[in-house]
Amino acid sequence: MILNFFHNIWLLTNNYKLLLILLPEWIVMSGPSSTNLSATLAKSLNYELHEVETKSFPDGEKKIRINEDVQGKNIIFVQSLYPPVDHHVMQFLLTVYKLSQMGSKVYACVPYLAYARQDLEFQRGETASLAVISRLFRSIGVNSLLTVDIHSTHGLGYFSFPTFSVSAMPLLANYVSNNIKLNSPLAVSPDFGGSSRVEAFSKLLNIDYISLKKSRSRTTGEVVMEDSNVEVAGRDIILVDDMISTGTSIVRAANYLHKLNSGKIITLCTHALMVNNASDVIKEAGVETVIATNTIPSDVSKVDVTKIIAEHYKSIQ
């Protein structure tokens, strides 16, 4: 009986070793746009970290090279697609194509997914850009896609392979709770399209929320803010959005709220694109601070999304 016991232990041990050999190895590969996030993700998952060798020619064309043997391995390729957007998109396409060609299984991690705002044909003759992106990703061999706070969950339907969007709102809410003192805070979405987002955020902090309504002409682009019946006088405001590009929506909302005698205003977003002089424009509008995640590296990237990305990959293994 004792011999049988030790024999069974030996079998289990060797079967486990065999299983480890047969299971594909996982590697985090860093794209040029997400080196820091890739490093923290690899450390969190306890995976090896490799980098893509990249080069840009004088005429703007891109060249990439994979220096490791990736055949039969699962690659988490991390590349955020913030400005210069097309530059980072081409790096992504060339890299994933080569990884697939070399025999690896590519799990694309795209913390900020460019072109996600154009997920419908808003005017006749326009292209639903995200539909094109989804086809490109499929054609080069993306096996699975993970992003953070996609602009509209409607866009997920364009992808024919497993596609996931994890939310950074709990991380942002936790940051506010631990670092910022507010008087009778009110969470505000700068437009009605963000209603579900601001509602979910407000529940995390157990505070009130409202969504501002605006009317926009799709032809001229002119926007008018509609009056709100909610009392905001004297209350500190948390403007919540998924992204800030030029800052126009934030400035418009801040100006409107100041007219209603609000208290101080802070702004939270997942993706801080902050193009042109957005930071200065937002500050001039009386917004005290902007807090964003590190899906896009910037001076306002104060919240790390490594945790939610790592949790996703742990859940699928």
Catalytic positions, please? 214
User: How far is Cα 229 from Cα 209, in angstroms, rounded to an integer?
Assistant: 13
* Cα 291–Cα 296–Cα 300 angle in degrees, nearest 5: 25
Q: How far is CA 176 from the centre of its chain?
A: 19
User: How far is Cα 159 from Cα 116, in angstroms, rounded to an integer?
Assistant: 12
Under a CB-based contact definition with an 8 Å cutoff, are residues 212 and 225 in contact? Answer: yes
User: How far is Cα 246 from Cα 301, in angstroms, rounded to an integer?
Assistant: 16
Which residues, listed in sequence order, are joined to residue 238 by a DSSP beta bridge?
187, 266
Nearest 5°: phi and psi at 159?
A: -90, 130
User: How far is Cα 214 from Cα 199, in angstroms, rounded to an integer?
Assistant: 18
Under a CB-based contact definition with an 8 Å cutoff, are residues 12 and 20 in contact? Answer: no
Is residue 300 classed exposed, middle or buried when 0-12, 13-18 and 19+ CB atoms within 10 A define those classes? buried
* Cα 153–Cα 156–Cα 159 angle in degrees, nearest 5: 175
Under a CB-based contact definition with an 8 Å cutoff, are residues 238 and 269 in contact? Answer: no
**How is residue 151 annotated by DSSP?**
S
What is the 3 state secondary structure string of 116-159? CCCCCCCCCCCCCHHHHHHHHHHHHCEEEEEEECCCCHHHHHHC
